[in-house]
Structure 1
Amino acid sequence: MKETLMRAKLPFFQTTILANYIQTGVVVFSLPRLLAEHIGTNGWAALFICSAVAAVNLFLISLVYRFGKGKSIFDLTRSVLPKFIVIPLFIILAALWAVLGSLVGKDFILIITSLSFRSLHPIYLYVMLEFLVFMLLSKGIFTISNTAAITFFILIWNTLLLVYAQNDFELSRMTSFWFKGVDHTVKGWFQIYSAFLGYELCLLLFPYVDEKSHLMRAFQIANLSTTFFYALVCFVAFGFFSLHQLQHLKFPVLNLLSYVELPFVKRVDDLVFNITILRVLISNVMFAWAASETIKWVLPAAKFRSVPYVFLVFFAAIVFFAIPSTLEKTEPWLYRFSIAEVGVAFALPILLMIILLINKRRGQNYA
């Protein structure tokens, strides 16, 4: 059974959906506000700039995959760098991914408790979410990808609800000015770009794919679909609300959905947000999986099978208890760690390309 799983590879369709769910998160509900605050008029167009940057980053990762012949990033780094550098490096990366996954989950839990369960302490929902994460994580990457595919067919219909905004949509609210009305800052652009993060985890999927998986094509398609989804939602929001309104609404997409009336659902916005937990679950578990895979390499799983889970529980507890359980306190921490992840997304492929060049000079060929 174990040998069969080792031979199995992720199929292209599931890889594409998994990539999309890693990249697309709960940030979509506040993304129009972030664009209005940091980009200004017609801010939705800035998403295409961020998408292009992500595509370039993915191209860089594809070079690592191609020239490294799909070899694990752990084996690549070990081939050049000494252990006293490699081990601390990957422990730091594992910690970063564990914290990011937990922060994504906590951020969602704090939003949902503020909207729907105000009398319930966030710790209860947070523990339940993390329990689901560990249950799914224990089943492995193939079960995670299957779950992502099932979730895709459950949530895809949500986008159709934007049709109900057509009666109050006005192109005149877009104005003829582009990126005006705000002070542009590097911090603001980074905050927008962080909505596209997650694609860098494809670096850890190298051993689980083959030529039929078309890993990099799947992630490029996922990046395009994420861009289309973000742009569509934000375009509708910019035509539904004025720029001033967007800048003062905490979650503009939820406000937009609150105008939707269906005969069989009283509060569409609550329904859509609550079932978004499925998307958050996939995103959370993939960061946890990345951290787990890294720790398994640092400490061989055959001898320390429980260590990755202890490691993840430790950082999940740190995230909840060390960071105050309010949105105002949690979101800045999520932003800080997202900035660190942006650095990893670009620096790690560059490091791996340098390692590949060194190995090429040595005459080492990856077969």
Structure 2
Amino acid sequence: MRAKLPFFQTTILANYIQTGVVVFSLPRLLAENIGTNGWAALLICAAVAAFNIFLISLVYRFGKGKSIFDITKSALPKFIVIPFFCILAAFWAISGCLIGKEFILIITSLSFRSLHPIYLYVMFELLVFLLLSKGIFTISNTAVIAFFILTWNTLLLIYAQSDFDWSRMTSFWFKGVDHTLKGWIQIYSAFLGYELCLLLFPYVDEKSHLMRAFQIANLTTTFFYTLVCLVSFGFFSLHQLQHMKFPVLNLLSYVELPFVKRVDDFVFNITILRVLISNVMFAWASAETIKWILPAAKFRSIPYVFLAFCAAVAFFAIPSTLEKTEPWLLRFGLAETGIAFALPLLLMIILLINKSRGQNYA
């Protein structure tokens, strides 16, 4: 009998799938797209994410824990299913690589300006492949270790209390900018990643409480994002936030500790653990999809070759500057938002069709 993911590890893994390097620029994105008191928009996005996770829980409940591959092939022909999941596999693989690429581009612009990003990118992707080769249980164990290393970072916000001023919030809500759907989705994309729980169905049981774990992770992510952005909006003015590339790093640069000179650099560098887990989980979702598409493949290395190809595409086909990479991240965020809602709805429709036909899942 296959081992199952425990509840505690599933919760932490879910949290690390959702949160990432975007937190360092999130206050700026809120100031640019939402305006005054933009931090409150995170509560709206969190509610939408919670509803989306609820839709996924319906798939899990009515599908009785069957994998999304088994559910899909039960109603759709192979000539539709295979290309569909090939596109999803490529999308997940490139999305994960873009997460890692964004981190590498930021760290080279901050700390290694004379070093070409390709060197750090290759080393980072090697870490991804090494962790990916160990399987989902080792990935979840690594997420737990990373959690205990990184969780204390939030306490650094205490040092901002002396310069925090509630008057900077103003009494106006969501004013000073033009609201667009694209802007709201750009904020919402910070919560994405939870849709990967669709791939975890075969690795959990009732004791794992998969949907509860992801809902708790969503609440934890919301609390973390809201706290960071609330402090940022009270520490800087709206105009300052709109013109800072990474406001959280600017905020941390004011922190002075006797044993660390550059707290912002230190915090950002160890964030590689969080980015690593996010990248690995997207790669894992892609690899699981390829393994299902090619179950009888002679070479087990095919998923890894596919992921290496996608990593090369993410680095060389997409411009390797931070300014030119961000529009691609926005495009993939828009697509991922669509997938996060469309895929559970598609699976629910299939389950309802199967139920009308009298087909039940044992």
Give the TM-score taking structure 2 as reference length. Answer: 0.99
Distance 2:43 2:64 in 1: 31
Partner of 2:324: 329
User: Shift of residue 89 of structure 1?
Assistant: 0.2
User: Shift of residue 286 of structure 1?
Assistant: 0.2
Question: Equivalent residue of 2:177, what SS?
Answer: coil
Residue 28 in 1 paired to residue 19 in 2? no
Residue number among 30, 36, 39 corresponding to 1:41 in the alignment:
36
Residue number among 235, 238, 248 corresponding to 1:240 in the alignment:
235
Amino acid in the other structure paired with 1:60: L
Residue 127 in 1 paired to residue 127 in 2? no
Partner of 1:162: 157
Amino acid in the other structure paired with 2:319: P
Partner of 2:349: 354
User: Shift of residue 303 of structure 1?
Assistant: 2.6
Distance 2:184 2:296 in 1: 40
Distance 1:150 1:303 in 2: 35
User: Shift of residue 338 of structure 1?
Assistant: 1.2
Residue 314 in 1 paired to residue 320 in 2? no
Distance 2:318 2:141 in 1: 33
Amino acid in the other structure paired with 2:104: I
Partner of 1:76: 71
Residue 102 in 1 paired to residue 97 in 2? yes
Partner of 1:3: none
Question: Equivalent residue of 1:234, what SS?
Answer: helix
Distance 2:229 2:195 in 1: 24
Residue number among 284, 287, 299 corresponding to 2:282 in the alignment:
287
Amino acid in the other structure paired with 2:170: T
Partner of 1:250: 245
Question: Would you say how many aligned residue pairs link Structure 1 and Structure 2?
Answer: 362
Distance 2:144 2:134 in 1: 15
Amino acid in the other structure paired with 1:12: F
Q: Deviations over 1:229-288 (max 9, x none)?
A: 000000000000000000000000000000000000000000000000000000000000
User: Shift of residue 291 of structure 1?
Assistant: 0.2
Matches within 5 A, 1:9-20: 9-20=4-15
Give the TM-score taking structure 1 as reference length. Answer: 0.98
User: Shift of residue 109 of structure 1?
Assistant: 0.2
Distance 2:66 2:122 in 1: 36
Q: Deviations over 1:120-177 (max 9, x none)?
A: 1100100001000000000000000000000000000000000000000000000000
User: Shift of residue 301 of structure 1?
Assistant: 5.7
Question: Equivalent residue of 2:295, what SS?
Answer: coil
Distance 1:319 1:301 in 2: 28
Partner of 1:220: 215
Q: Deviations over 1:10-40 (max 9, x none)?
A: 0000000000000001000000000000000
Question: Equivalent residue of 1:7, what SS?
Answer: coil
Q: Could you list the runs of 5+ residues in structure 2 that have no partner in the other structure?
A: none
RMSD of equivalent CA atoms: 0.7
Amino acid in the other structure paired with 2:273: L
Amino acid in the other structure paired with 1:14: Q
Q: Could you list the runs of 5+ residues in structure 1 that have no partner in the other structure?
A: 1-5
Residue number among 115, 127, 138 corresponding to 1:143 in the alignment:
138
Runs of 4+ off more than 4 Å:
none
Identity of aligned residues (%): 86
Distance 1:19 1:283 in 2: 9
Residue 67 in 1 paired to residue 62 in 2? yes
